[in-house]
Structure 1
Amino acid sequence: MSLRDKLARFSTELQEYYAAPYRAVFAKAQQQEDDLFMLLVMSEALGIPNPASFYTLELLPIVYEDFHAWHRRMGMANSPLENIQCC
């Protein structure tokens, strides 16, 4: 191995050493952002007024796949919507 390869490997391992403790924090932050996005998209169906409902309406088919996991994370045992029966 050349010196350049050793330095590159050391740099990669050092970056992993410093980034590893925060990986769970970043994953949780991403999950919270996804939950907020889901709430914004589903707000009209949940009865919450949404001024951007015209734009979020076209996103509904995309978020239907994740709806079950989302409502379980939010503490709802069953789907809160009559027209979406996922459980």
Structure 2
Amino acid sequence: MGIRDRLKAFSDGLTEYYAGPYRATFVKARQQEDDLFMMLVMSEALGVPNPASYYTLELLPIVYEDFHAWHRRMGMEHSPLENIQCC
């Protein structure tokens, strides 16, 4: 085992030591940011005025894949949109 391997292992250990206890917090914060982003992109379709709808319209094909998981996390049993039937 070379010095680079030892330094990498030491660095990985330090990262795990410092970031490990907060991993769940980081995951939850990331999910909340993703949910807010999804709401902003889908706001026009949900009936909420969005001044940036011209720019978010381009992102719709990307967020369609995650739409089902998002509306389930938001507590909606079925899709709130008539033109997106994912359930």
For normalisation by structure 2, the TM-score amounts to 0.89
User: Aligned equivalents of 1:5 and 1:57: distance in 2?
Assistant: 47
Show the counterpart of 1:50: 50
* Alpha carbons of structure 1 residues 15 and 52: separation in structure 2 relative to 1, 3 Å: same
Q: Which runs of 5+ in 2 are unaligned?
A: none
Using the TM superposition, give the Cα deviation of residue 28 of structure 1 relative to its aligned residue in structure 2, in angstroms: 0.6
**Tell me, what secondary structure is at the counterpart of 1:19?**
helix
**Letter of the structure 2 residue corresponding to residue 18 of structure 1:** Y
Q: Distance in 1 between matches of 2:10 and 2:29?
A: 29
Q: Number of residue pairs matched?
A: 87
State the one-letter code of the partner of 1:10. F
Identity percentage of aligned residues? 80
Structure 1 residue ranges (4+ consecutive) displaced by more than 6 angstroms after TM superposition = none
Q: 1:80 to 1:14 in 2, by over 3 A?
A: same
With over 3 angstroms needed to count, the CA separation of the structure-2 counterparts of 1:4 and 1:37, relative to structure 1, is closer
Alignment-derived partner of residue 83 in structure 2? 83
Output one character per residue of 1:52-86: Cα deviation in whole Å (capped at 9) or x when no partner. 00000111011000000000000000000000000
1:12 paired residue number:
12
Runs of 5+ in structure 1 lacking a partner?
A: none
Please name the residue that 1:70 is paired with. 70
Cα shift readout 1:13-39 (whole Å, capped 9, x = no counterpart): 122111101111111111000000000
The RMSD of aligned alpha carbons is 1.6
